[in-house]
Structure 1
């Protein structure tokens, strides 16, 4: 995850939710967003 820019991480998160990927993967992305203190609007799954 450390190789992703903040913008790329946000894009990957939104894309993962849109594609309804594995919930564990989405949670991993959310954890990284929290770790970086990036706040984004919740996306309904």
Structure 2
């Protein structure tokens, strides 16, 4: 995940949730978002 830019990570999360991809995959993306402390920048974007 380190190779993803913050923007790419957030876009990946948004698309994964929109397409209802595997919950474990979405959880990995969300964990990385929290690890990078990006959750405060996305507001209601996160579920």
Q: Alignment RMSD, CA only? A: 0.9
How far apart are residue 21 of structure 1 and its match? 0.1
With normalisation by structure 1, the TM-score equals 0.88
Q: Deviations over 1:5-38 (max 9, x none)?
A: 0000000000000000000000000000000000
Structure 2 residue runs without a partner (length 5+):
none
SS at match of 1:32: helix
Q: 2:35 aligns to what?
A: 35
The structure whose residues are more often helix, as a share, is 2
Bigger relative CO (Cα 8 Å, ≥ 6 apart): 1
Shift of 1:3: 0.1
TM-score by length of 2: 0.85
Match in the other structure for 2:26: 26
